[in-house]
Amino acid sequence: MNFLRKLFGAAPTPTDDGAFAPSPLALKLATSSTTDYDGGAYADPYEGGVARVLMVCTEERNMVMANGKEFSTGNHPVEMGLPMLHLLNAGFGIDIVTPSGAPVKIEMWAMPDDDEDVKKLYRDFADAFENPGSLADFVANDMTDDAPYVAVYIPGGHGAMLGLPENTDVGKLLHWAHERDLYTLAICHGPAALLAAEGDKGFLYEGYKIAAFPDAVDRQTPMIGYMPGHMPWKFGERLNALGVTIVNTKADASCHVDRRLVTGASPKAANGFGRLAADTLLDAVRSGQVPRNLSL
């Protein structure tokens, strides 16, 4: 079996730290050197220069799979990058935090190397990714009523399942955003972080419908060597148990808005999710919904 996997390029690729990146076959099937980014033009962008989005990224790299092998992951560069481009072009600033302020981990093997817009974005934000803010510090010192945020954004990549779903600061941030009528944006595996909003008084998103990466697809990916084993746990299953309905069954371009939660299903949704998020925030700021101290 191992011989056949190597022959067909389906064996996961070892990394320098003893983990595994996706196989050549998986990269061919699941990634692309370009994206469907539509250019991010907005006829009437926000020009107030104040409204911002707080992006919460993972600072963890390796996921221990059910068989004990480690998958080299992080935030997916397309799922993170295309929505960032849309938000920036719509006029919103982006502040980046990780739980402790450690560098953002990015799935560089999924970087679209022939997409100049995405490559420029990552050059422009290189220092911010290497030196992000600390979510712990933000929660302790800056989570105030007059903070200039319109949304919290949790990008995708399997890394969103590492350290965020059980982080109490993530839970506090989600509740703060909800109480202030801010928007929460999450794509692909990003909705796993919503699990942090479970508490003694119940789950913040009980009864919500979302688009997210299906557990069923995660179960299939080890066959092509995308991961070196099966997932250690299933975030969709846990969200379902807390009363969340996932509207899509495929890793497709599905996006969904339920109240102030905007979600997307997969890398295929990144452009549409980014535009939907940007348009939703523009409409909210124009109408004076969020933040209450900002306007166009």
**Looking at residue 292, what is its pLDDT?**
58
**Residue 260 falls within a domain, yes or no?**
yes
Report CA torsion sign: 117, 123, 128, 130: positive
For 109-172, the three-class secondary structure string (H helix, E strand, C coil) is HHCCCCCHHHHHHHHHCHHHHHCCEEHHHHHHHCCCCCCCEEEEEECCCHHHHCCCCCCHHHHH
Distance, in Å, from the CA atom of 176 to the CA atom of 168, rounded to the nearest integer, reads 12
Distance, in Å, from the CA atom of 82 to the CA atom of 137, rounded to the nearest integer, reads 27
**Residue 295 falls within a domain, yes or no?**
no
Distance, in Å, from the CA atom of 257 to the CA atom of 4, rounded to the nearest integer, reads 44
**Residue 217 falls within a domain, yes or no?**
yes
Distance, in Å, from the CA atom of 220 to the CA atom of 214, rounded to the nearest integer, reads 10
Residue 253, domain CATH? 3.40.50.880
Q: Identify the bridge partners of residue 199 per DSSP, sorted by sequence position.
A: 202
**Contact present, 98 and 134 (Cβ < 8 Å):** yes
How big, in percent rounded to 5, are the helix, strand and coil portions of the chain?
40, 20, 45
- Domain total in the chain: 1
**Looking at residue 197, what is its pLDDT?**
98
Neighbours of 278 (CB within 10 A): 27
**Residue 296 falls within a domain, yes or no?**
no
**Residue 293 falls within a domain, yes or no?**
no
**Which one-letter amino acid corresponds to residue 132?**
P
**Model pTM?**
0.95
**Residue 187 falls within a domain, yes or no?**
yes
Q: Which strands form 13-14's sheet, in the order they lie side by side?
A: 13-14, 20-21, 70-72, 62-64
What tokens were used for 210? 């979302």
Ranges of H-type helices in the chain = 2-7, 24-30, 77-89, 116-124, 126-130, 135-141, 168-179, 215-220, 235-241, 270-286
Q: Please give the DSSP secondary-structure letter assigned to residue 295.
A: -
**Residue 69 falls within a domain, yes or no?**
yes
For each of the chain's 296 residues, which pLDDT tens digit applies? 454 455 457 999 999 999 999 999 999 999 999 999 999 999 999 998 899 999 999 999 999 999 999 999 999 999 999 999 999 999 999 999 999 999 999 999 999 999 999 999 999 999 999 999 999 999 999 999 899 999 999 999 999 999 999 999 999 999 999 999 999 999 999 999 999 999 888 999 999 999 999 999 999 999 999 999 999 999 999 999 999 999 999 999 999 999 999 999 999 999 999 999 999 999 999 888 766 555 44
Distance, in Å, from the CA atom of 76 to the CA atom of 26, rounded to the nearest integer, reads 15
**Looking at residue 287, what is its pLDDT?**
87
Which residues are known to be catalytic?
A: 188
Q: Using N-to-C axis directions, what is the helix angle for 77-89 and 116-124, rounded to 10°?
A: 80
**Looking at residue 239, what is its pLDDT?**
98
- Parent domain of 59: 2-40+49-286
**Residue 207 falls within a domain, yes or no?**
yes
